[in-house]
Amino acid sequence: DTGVSQDPRHKITKRGQNVTFRCDPISEHNRLYWYRQTLGQGPEFLTYFQNEAQLEKSRLLSDRFSAERPKGSFSTLEIQRTEQGDSAMYLCASSLRADDTGELFFGEGSRLTVL
């Protein structure tokens, strides 16, 4: 399978714990995006990378959130000191094109439940 891969698919954690999600984009895709989606809402942009450079961060991304894409390949999204409001589906997407018109290919998502 050469699609976008996310791990873990599901994560249940207690409030205050740290969690980390991993995304492996489609090979050779330059851009990698993180979105968050809650029930009944569309995906909300969190951050994106062009190769290894993090080019934009949403105001939604508080100081508790950090994302990396070392070497421009896979990416990790870490949430520190989780809160119940962090419960959501975290979607990773990648895009081949280096401009803003490309199609996004989404992974199956990592669902986070904070108790």
Partner 1 sequence: QKEVEQNSGPLSVPEGAIASLNCTYSDRGSQSFFWYRQYSGKSPELIMFIYSNGDKEDGRFTAQLNKASQYVSLLIRDSQPSDSATYLCAVNTGRRALTFGSGTRLQVQP
Rounded distance between C-alpha atoms, residue 18 and residue 42, angstroms: 25
The residue type at 113: T
How near is the Cβ of 42 to partner 1 at its closest, in Å? Answer: 3
Closer to partner 1 by CB, 19 or 92: give it: 92
Within 10 Å of residue 78's Cβ, how many Cβ atoms? 13
Cβ atoms 95, 51 nearer than 8 A? no
Examine residue 40 and tell whether it contacts partner 1 (CB under 8 A).
yes
Q: Which of 29, 107, 112, 114 touches partner 1 by CB under 8 A?
A: 107
Binding site for partner 1 (CB under 8 A): 33, 35, 40-45, 48, 55-56, 91, 100-101, 103-104, 106-109
